[in-house]
Amino acid sequence: MTRGPDVTTKLGTERAVRTSAGPVLGLANISLTFGGVAALRDVNLEVAQGEIRAVIGPNGVGKSSLLNIVSGLYRPDRGQVRLGELAFREVPTSKLATYGVARTFQNLALFKEPSILDNVLMGLAHRVHAGFLRQIVGSPLARPIEAENRAEAEAVISFLHLSDVHDRVAGGLP
């Protein structure tokens, strides 16, 4: 890993090290074992801004273990995860959404009654820093963030070609 100036920042109990500009996600020499059985051995991966990557393979080759490391559920025995300019030995799960990382599991669970748009907006709730009451009454603190979240949610829905059904109840769609 190339280091820029020796700048470090504390995030809870984890240590993040500023690195040079590069991919939005980088995995360097990730290794993970369970009771002596190697699930991952020296995995390297980089994902550039706007790039979509897939992790494929048969059962038992470590796909879920790799995603569990990126999402902070597992700590690798060796290696480092980079999110933008931050590098981690252990990814702080409490901060992931603020770094732009989200994880869905294979048993995807949507809120059935709210609309598609409202389901996507719920994923952006961590950005609203105004209290619950201020959000309900539409205070000036909450309005700009809500408008920004709505625009981003609509962009995601458009990207997924769901604009025609964005106002439909999620539980009523296939």
Q: Per mean pLDDT, which range of 42-51, 109-118, 150-159 is the poorest?
A: 109-118
State whether the Cα torsion 57-62-63-64 is positive or negative: positive
Q: Is residue 110 part of a domain?
A: no
Q: Is residue 15 part of a domain?
A: yes
Whether residue 43 sits in one domain with residue 75: yes
124-143 confidence digits (pLDDT tens): 766 665 555 555 555 666 67
Number of domains in the chain: 2
161 or 4, which is more confident: 161
pTM of the model: 0.54
Whether residue 65 sits in one domain with residue 25: yes
Q: Is residue 105 part of a domain?
A: no
Q: Is residue 156 part of a domain?
A: yes
State whether the Cα torsion 102-30-107-163 is positive or negative: positive
Whether residue 128 sits in one domain with residue 72: no
**Maximum distance among all Cα pairs of the chain, rounded to whole angstroms:** 56
Q: What are phi and psi of 9, to 5 degrees?
A: -135, 140
Q: Which structural domain, as residue segments, surrounds residue 88?
A: 3-92
Whether residue 128 sits in one domain with residue 86: no
143-157 confidence digits (pLDDT tens): 777 888 889 999 999
> For all residues of the chain together, what is the average pLDDT?
78
Cα–Cα distance for residue pair 111/123, rounded to 1 Å: 11
DSSP 8-state symbol, 79: E
Whether residue 120 sits in one domain with residue 88: no
User: Is the model's pLDDT at 113 over the cut of 60?
Assistant: yes
